Amino acid sequence: MYPLTFRAHLKPTLNLAYPVMLSQLGHVLVNVVDSMVVGQTGKIPLAAVSLSVSVSTVVMVLGLGLTMGITPLVAAADGRNDVAANGRLLVNGVGLSAVAGLLLAALGLLVPLALPYLGQPAPVVALAAPWVRVLFLSFFPLMIFQGFKQFAEGLGLTRQAMLLSVQANVLNAVLCYGLVFGKFGLPNMGMMGAAWATLVARVLMAVMMAAYVLRARRLSPYREAAAHQLRPDAAGLRRLLNLGTPIGVQMTFEMGAFSFSAIMIGWLGTTQLAAHQIAINVASVTYMAASGIGAAATIRVGKYYGAHDAPGARKAGMMAYLLTFGFMSLTGVVLVLMRHRLPFYYNHDPAVVAQAATLLLIAAAFQISDGLQVVGLGALRGFEDVKVPSIVALLAYWAVALPLGYVLAFWLKWGAVGVWLGLLTGLTLVAGVLLLRFHRWPLEAPSASVPALATR
């Protein structure tokens, strides 16, 4: 095993991770607030939100994945003190994000047309279709936000996105409650109010993140470098796509598996689908916390690797693994203890609450696997290793998890529990394979011409 200097890696990892955790939670808390508020209006609207989120999130994570290629490249260039390269990455990253955001928003005109063919209850589909259209419009400002955010995080500036996400989520919560129930002098729009609140909050996030990057004094060298080439260049875009596309595909495979599991559960009925939305909502909160540690691993591993200090990169990644194991073990215990209370924050239907409590037990069981796989992905991205993890995700989720879940749910009649056990199996496989791959990543001696990165 590798010796870990805790003082050298623990504090820097936490300093990067906790702001990213809160920033990543911003994406999830939008869905959490929507589900909590809309769930108070009935289980059919809650099931409609579940269907809408399941379908839209698959598309959203593809876009988010495209932007995640920015961070390790920025971190590596920062490790080399290459300001000019980061100026080009700023232009190319934001340009790529803007184009991807427009394409994702345009898909909102087509996706609702496919909802009636997913075998879901008709009342649920009727409520979900208009909600999806508005939600897809919010993907354009979200992608602009991501382009600037990933650039800043690659430089280790993680707190700014965190603060903006907190502010935007407060606005979203207030608007969501006001528009759904007609409070604070706002119109009563029912569940559609939640979708419009999300759109407004994401526009604010994009404007404020762009303003920070384009005005902050500490980022002026990168803006000056970017000013020499304000148009994205083909070679830079290809490099971002070569790194970001596999990340987006991997995230799509993973989220697509969870989304298709929701569709399968929808075949079982509205009650099961509403319960699934509650359990997956709760589990997604802890997942995004682990995702923050994974993002910190990408930044620190990438910076060490860019400075040709592979041993330092390995140690930084292993610290992220240890932190995640401890954190997710604790959250698993919390879910077990709170499984009968948490569902009431979403819905009071006894059947929905009982089913959700059972699913939360399984969610508690896969906390460690879920956390370790996302940290493994983050650490390997720091090495710019993205293609093999995508293949691992494809096989584990679509060749193992979903078929197993279907057999357990419909052949053995285990219902939603069977689908979730399939997901648990897939997550565990991915976590194990990625940990082995990171463990075996070849150690290279630091280049003689580039000094090894000093620990901070």
Name, in order, each residue with C-beta under 8 angstroms of 381's C-beta and a sequence gap of 6 or more.
Answer: 68, 71, 72, 247, 298, 301, 302
Q: For residue 5, what pLDDT is reported? A: 57
CB 264 within 8 A of CB 415: no
Contacts by 220-224 with C-beta closer than 8 Å and gap 24+?
A: 221/83, 221/87, 222/83, 222/86, 222/87, 222/90, 223/87, 223/90, 224/87
Token pair, residue 99, equals 């184009």
Q: Where are the domains of the chain?
A: 6-439
Token pair, residue 286, equals 């802890």
Q: For residue 262, what pLDDT is reported? A: 86
Residue by residue, pLDDT tens for the chain (456 residues) are 444 455 677 777 877 777 777 776 666 667 677 778 887 878 888 888 878 877 888 888 889 888 988 988 998 888 889 999 999 999 999 999 999 999 999 988 888 888 888 888 888 888 888 988 999 999 999 999 999 999 998 888 878 887 888 888 889 889 989 998 999 889 998 888 988 998 999 999 999 999 999 999 999 999 998 888 878 888 888 999 998 888 888 888 888 898 889 889 989 988 898 889 889 888 888 887 788 898 888 888 888 887 888 788 888 889 899 999 999 999 999 999 999 999 998 888 899 999 999 999 999 988 999 999 999 999 998 888 888 988 998 899 999 999 999 999 999 999 999 999 999 999 999 999 999 999 888 765 334 333 333 333
CB 23 within 8 A of CB 161: yes
How far is CA 441 from each of CA 204, 319, 372, 389, rounded to the nearest angstrom?
41, 16, 17, 13
Q: For residue 175, what pLDDT is reported? A: 92
Token pair, residue 50, equals 């579940």
Tell me the C-alpha distance between 395 and 151, whole Å: 31
Return the closest-CA partner of residue 202 out of 151, 142, 244: 142
- Secondary structure (DSSP) of 219-237: GHHHHHHHHT--S--HHHH
Q: For residue 6, what pLDDT is reported? A: 57
Tell me the C-alpha distance between 211 and 202, whole Å: 14
Q: What is the DSSP letter of 115?
A: G
Name, in order, each residue with C-beta under 8 angstroms of 429's C-beta and a sequence gap of 6 or more.
Answer: 392, 396, 400, 401
3-state secondary structure of 47: helix
3-state secondary structure of 246: helix
Return the closest-CA partner of residue 358 out of 276, 267, 242: 276
